[in-house]
Amino acid sequence: MNTKKVRRLQHFIIVPLAMLWFASVNLFAAESKNYQEVEWIQLMPRDDLDALLNPPEYLANVVDGSEQDSVDALSAIEDQDDTTRRFQQALTSQRVIQDFDEKAVKIPGFVVPLRSDENQRVTEFFIVPYFGACLHMPPPPPNQMIYGKVETGFELAQLTEPFWFKGVIHIETTSNTTGTSAYGMSLDKMYPYE
């Protein structure tokens, strides 16, 4: 066999086989990650959680969606007691749990679309713990929102559709008119919640 034929054979057989091998190694690496299943409350400091679980008593009389049902209305209250002040701080807390930085996690949640491509496929979004987050006031605290981005985009049939998200979480702040997240995630996989 002459040298040209050997090189041609290498180009048409060996190169594709090498590419297939590298692709399978990358797929295996993504699938072999040990994803820690995480609950949303694990992403916030305990004192923030305690403050949110013990809101000021007068909030029980605030009608959902009313002018009083906002962070701004809460901020405007004069002579705030410690409970009100601490509750307000927890609502906007960007405090995070450092141990989650660069950790592979699996977390359930809902999608709040931020940007779509020309085919109406979602490419940027917030992952949030409950349906309707960011559509009503107030939005979840930043330490209860995760920013995600997918180059290829995905179809979202309904906002009520829950998903599992697998990926590496990062501590990073992302803000826009919809809300602010204190975490980001490099997604490896997302699929319907079951």
Query: pLDDT, tens digit, for every residue of 150-192?
Result: 999 999 988 899 999 999 999 999 999 999 999 999 999 999 9
Supply 125's token pair: 């979004």
Confidence of residue 137 (pLDDT cuts 50, 70, 90): low
Q: DSSP E strands: which ranges in 2-46?
A: 36-37
The pTM (predicted TM-score) of the whole model is 0.77
Write down the mean pLDDT value for the chain.
83
For 14-25, what is the mean pLDDT? 39
Q: Of residues 1 and 132, which shows the higher confidence score?
A: 132
* Distance set, CA 113 to CA 71, 130, 132 (Å): 22, 14, 12
Q: Which pLDDT score is estimated for 96?
A: 98
Distances (CA, A) of 189 to 42, 75, 100: 21, 39, 18
Rounded to a whole number of angstroms, the CA Rg of the chain reads: 23
The residue ranges of every structural domain in the chain are 1-32, 36-192
> Residue 135 — very low, low, confident or very high, per pLDDT cuts 50/70/90?
low
Does the structure show a pLDDT above 70 at 97? yes
Q: Which CATH superfamily is domain 36-192 in?
A: Protein of unknown function (DUF3299) (2.40.50.870)
